[in-house]
Structure 1
Amino acid sequence: MIGRERELAALATSQAPVMLLRGEAGVGKTALLAAVPAEGFKVLRAAGVEAETAIAYAGLHQLLHPLMPLTDGLDPGHRATLEAVLDGTPAVAPSVMALGVAVLDLLSVGPPLLLIVDDGQWFDVPSIQVLTFVARRLGDLPVRLWVAVREGVPSLFDEAGLEELAVPALSAADAADLLDSRFPDLPAEHRRLVLEHAAGNPLALVELPSSIAEGLEPGFVPLPRRLERVFASRIRALTARERAELLRLAFDGAGRHGSGSRYVPRDVETARAMGLLEQGRLAFRHPLVASAVVQLASPNERAAAHADLAALYEADLERRAVHLAAATVDPDAAVAAALEGAARSAVRRGGAATAVQWLTRAAELSPRPADRARLLGDAAFVAGQAGLLERAEVLVAAADRADGRIASPDAVLTAAYVALYRHGDVSMHGVVAEVLRRRHAELDDAMLARLVHLLLAISQFAADPVTWRVTDELVELVRDRLPATTLLLRDAWSDVAHRGAGLRERISEAVAATDEAEPWDLMRLGVAAFYADSLADLRPYLSRMVERERETGAVTSLMTMLQLTVLDDIVAGRWDDAVRGCTEGLALTSEHGYELFGHQFRVFLGLVAAQRGDTARAAALQAEVEAWARPRKVGFLLQFAEDLGMLAALSSGDYETAWAYASGITTPGAFPAYAQHAPRTLLDLVEAALHTGRDDLACAHAAAAASLRGISPRLDLLIAGTLAMTSPSAEAFAAASQEEFPFEWARVRLAEGVWGRRQKRITEARAALTAALTTFEQLGAESWAARTRQELRAGAPSTASLTAQERHIAELAATGLSNKQIGAQLFLSPRTVGAHLYRIFPKLGITSRAALRDALESPG
């Protein structure tokens, strides 16, 4: 172990019966746990598997099943409780206390034990509850419990009050030692890149060199994404058959301690040779490898893998049902019945939260309305018993709708809006879509429009093309009954690149007709205006509405309108105002428990920080938003978080990282349907591509964007700017002149100045760079301003080569004196003065007397 002396000593000398190790993925928690001496202790290990988080007591079974032979000497009641949970299915799920007491009894009769739990964040909830109960009561028992959890992934271990040991990244010196010990012959430039991008993460230090040596590009993103991108690059190099094998291994939890995985692949030697799998056993080198394998697979590939695993676990009720459900898209009564049986089993073993999920999914897969209603009703009952009260409300409403027992679309609206805005739950899309599909004919026009607006809102936050296609299908189904404004919202929120023509005019007409409208009507138009880059036109309306809603307390509309004003401030360069708006918005969201809105304000704060060059602040906000949004699949926030990381990288000049983000947001050279964020990042992608030598991709993307002209002035600026950057000319840069978007405008001026300097167009270059510098300084974009100053210094004319007399003549000429007047002062003929100026101009890099003053006053 290199650089872990402190952690090893802490574990070896700690008297605490329980220790929680916390660190980011790849930081070396597993290796640390394996390296600590355990003399005098019997070591039992278990590792969480993400696929088993929904299987009650799966983690406890891993950890304690080897001790089951010791149960013969236990209290009969304790023995029965343990055997029922760990060796069978109890008729009645035991309480946490009953099972915890039984576990304490078991631990007391065995030898001294060291219990090691790795990847504890993936342990199922019932197992964590029992372990934390036991942990607080170990007392004088000769038992130690060490639990490793991943930073940024919440679990119940976080709330148990356990003593913690942070496992940070390695220091710079230790990281260099580790890298040199593993790769002593690494070229100097490769070594520098690995140390820079690994940032002390041991897994990255041992994984990145091989990718760089193979000519693959590391991701250059915050560490978890960077590792995933490195793994993804290797995975793409495998054959389709071998990727399919890895996918099945990933879904089966291959190689995880006690996972019980059964899948045996036919051939994974190439993956093993690439370092994706461990040598000697079927195990991924790191959980991120499995994550990358799953992420790269198509929906059809994932479904096929789950179907194969379902067949493999024919005799395992729960695993078979989970895999069958994951492999099934259309309603299937047999799969629904299997999942219902698995849910009943989970309830009997104490997995109520898991049972709610499975019963809900079983309802989705049930073809008969009566069965759907029954299953949803059962799920609501179990949710109520598990304390999931809001979820129970949603399920009750869904059960009512399933077979038309009552007409309660208002209940659907309320439940779905609460789920979305308070908790970021975009999964309600399917419920709302089904109500519209089945009951649209019986709904009045007002309720029909409200449900469509709800569907549009969920789709917007999901930011998923598949979800949008379903929404589009339903909008078209009821199109004749919808007001024109609703169709406008659909076009603006879903796909501005393909539906944006004339959108600004439609929004203006709609806003003009909102004098008597409800606040949420203007709120929705404001969101449309954001996508059409016309928030400035609505700013007076929004400001008045914000003031009104502050007084009347319509907090949902108020928070949304605050977001819109913040976005307008960001685009218009009023960044201090944007920060103040976010601060106010965060206070409101915290007060009312609107988690989704709160994370929107955080990502907007991150955008300001990133553009100003405060990369540490931007990275912290990005990590916070991603940790919340990713498990909820809130694509809107995830896209903005990617944008945040990209802008921070551009601000710091890390163009490879910027390229990794930009090319992840959109495919270069294309603007596919429903890719709402792609046009907004046009300038970023092109700039990153040009700075990383991908000129052909930059040109292709700028050319593809040319077809989007006319949608909005901001987009027109981005298009003109990127076309000028990819095919530079004075005329092309002059076309990018929309100054109402100062940050992007200044970036184009910076590019213009750099090009002009290289073309020896000194006067024009200085004018462009000076304009860019002034704007960057006004915005507080210090990293961009520093880069512009550097360009000005690099292109500044030098007076060092002038003789004393030439310098004197130049200074007099700069005041506006004629050759004759200068000659009269210096006792020279006008012709001699002209000859001197003829030599002075090239030395200063200028072509006229008008440029003399700037040249003489420049830093050079």
Structure 2
Amino acid sequence: MGAALTGRDEELETIATVLDVGALLLTGPAGSGRSALLEEAAERATVSGIRVLRGAGSAFEADLPYAGLNQLLWPLHADVDGLGEAHREALRSAMGLDAGPAPDRLVVATATLTLLTRAAPVLLLVDDLHRIDAASATVVGFLARRLDGSGAALLAATDAGDDLAGIRTLAVGPLDESAATALLTASFPNLAGTVRRQLLAAAQGSPLALHELPAALTAAQRTGTHDLPDPLPLGPRLTALYGARLAPLPAPTRRLLLLVALDGPDGSAALATAGDLADLLPAERADLVAVDACRVRFREPLARSAVVALAPPGERRAAHRVLAESTDRPERRAWHLARATLGPDERVAGLLMRAAHSHRRRGDAAGAFAAMVRAADLSPRGADRSRRLAEAASVRTDVDLRGVSRLLGDARHADPGRHGSVPAAVASAHLVLNGDGDVDTAHRVLVAALDDRDPAHVDALHALLTVCAFGGRDELWVPFHAAVARLRPGPPTLLALGASLVADPARATPSDLALLDDLIGRLHDEVDPARIVAVGRAALFVDRMPACREAHRRVVRDGRRGGVVVAVARALVNLCLDAVRTGRWAEATRLAAEGQALCEAHGYQTLRWPLRFGAALVAAGQGDEATTQDLTAQMLRWSAARGACSVAQAAHHTLAVSALGRGDAEEAYRHAVEVSPPGRLAANAPLALWSAIDLVEAAVRTGREVEAAAHAAALGQVAALSPRLALVARAAAATVEPSNERFGAALAVPGGERWPFDLARVRLAYGEWLRRHHSTSAAREQLAAAQYAFEQLGAVPWTARAEAELRAAGATPAAGPAVLTPQEREIALLAATGLTNKEIGQRLHLSHRTVGAHLYRVFPKLGIGSRAALRDALSIPK
């Protein structure tokens, strides 16, 4: 079955029975895939040794009696002479083989039935039956009622609504969403996700539209580099189909339809300009639109595209001018004027720039970018064109980095004497940071461009904040903080939060936290995705992200439908790292994979690293050494080449967690001090809040009591920032000076279960201390709780540590197949049969490295040390 027949299994099953039932009529609108079904039926009949006779209705032959029958029976014309005299003469006359008077239709029909019965087995295929001439249609209807049992069969296709009375009918409807997606993906595998969703919505399951719409786009539009035009361009067959429906409409109807199509979703402005709504009645009768008192709706999205595509350019411009005068919405007026204007026009360009800034304030970066580019096109002066293209390039960095370099080049070309601008610096810094450049270069570009007289100055400071955060070095922050301090009457709220909670959360003030909590409380009403993710970034290291989740998920959902890409990527970063901290590790891994794919597709290379950090932390916690080492090695190489110390710190934190899980405290200490020196939480290093407990534990286990005590004291100074930090600060104090009271205080922190990995580590440390002090009953209680929590997380090495302590405390740890995840059990069962990792991976569509990592976790769960013991551990009969 070809790709065009994706999702048509039920229809093909019905068609397969046609030789038994004699006749079947396929009904459905043009473009529904009727002809493809006929073609598939022909191929299957030929393979089965059945002769296929084809015919199709045509408007050019509709007035020629028996033209369709001639086409259908021509391959059998030599057999006509074998019929009886009456039948022979009637059929030869009908087929135009002999001249003579018009034959009797019943005799022609009977002769045809006789001829087909003698030629059996034979399948008649008639496409576009509604266009066939009347005489042939009469014969086809006669045959349809008499072929049953004759060895001949009829399969015909026609427009929905036409039928042959008494003949079985099969309606060919639109493809469902799953089949439509499969068809589009198979035919155009390189479509960007947002483009695919837009095309699916427009095609509404029409196979023809699913083939023609993407084919009519440019390569840049298909990959999402350029925005899709509105309305969508149509392919030749779609244009012809809709053209045939629009052509019979009166000129006033077509003019009003054009106004409605250009007006937007409801056509309200078009209705306000309409002289007579009765002009829309022909379009309603043609089932093109639905009209009520204040709204016009196209019944099919492609009908709107066709109305615009088929209108001459002059008529389209005139319609835009009418709509510009009739709307009281400045943005709509600006766009209509822009589309009605041919040459440069500074007035219209200025209106479009105001519309662009309005789009941007609402978080619509794509709309702002489109308006800026069009404003640049309409700019008479090179300096204005250059400035607007530079600003468009800056905004484009929030949508897709591809094409930004070209825009900056066009800006320089438009005004060669211009020496850069703040928006150009912002765009250039993004290109540097996400390309082959380094943090210091991006930093120099932005610092040199700072100009508090420029409206884009705050944008530059937000970009500089990101550069400094990736750089993670004190000297980078100095010009940033100085520039923020110079702002009058003060920095905007989100910039102020970034200057404290993103730069150095360990030194956040109560007023910082109060401001953050206030902004979080308003997120349910926030529509700007950039503001949502900025609040989430500020919330992450002071443990407020759980309250931001729903707003972030909304950003991701909107992004999957075509929202701002960079906001979606940042939302995925925040959600991923939040999921790591709160023990939702499977979700964190999924979010990391989705975010990395998005960043790769749109050029945001820098944002891949916090996502890889999230994936690496999960791998480290679960004991997947291969993945941990691979990801952290990548992070260290990238950070060294680009001066991104925060990425290196993330790698060292990950390696410290991994080493502690293995029980290698010396290596854990070596990595932990790379994040923050003992005795203080390093400034401008947010990860110091996450890694502090690692340093304290590693210092205690390696005999560095002074360092451990100093770092526990530093951690105690930030305990008020969040309940999680209160938990780990108290745990650090108990690790340095163990006592029932100190460990009890850590476990008593309200809501500790929201951070299951941190809480389980406290219980493990407490249980170890209790066992060493011969409180074995209390130790077993804490250790069993830790073991269970680690098992739920899939934290294999930590589970093994808890189990070892439980055995030392005289308890038997629970183990066996029941603790395996479904995928671990499937892999273990396959391994028990003797399959290699590579063979298992091929069967389950996994890499051999992933299979090995799963088995690495399975063996300690089952209490075995080799593959040979799997069969017995899993209770598989020999």
TM interval, short-chain normalised? 0.3 to 0.5
Higher relative contact order (CA 8 A, sep 6+): 1
Q: TM-score, normalised by structure 1?
A: 0.45
Structure whose alpha-carbon radius of gyration is higher: 2
Q: TM-score, normalised by structure 2?
A: 0.44
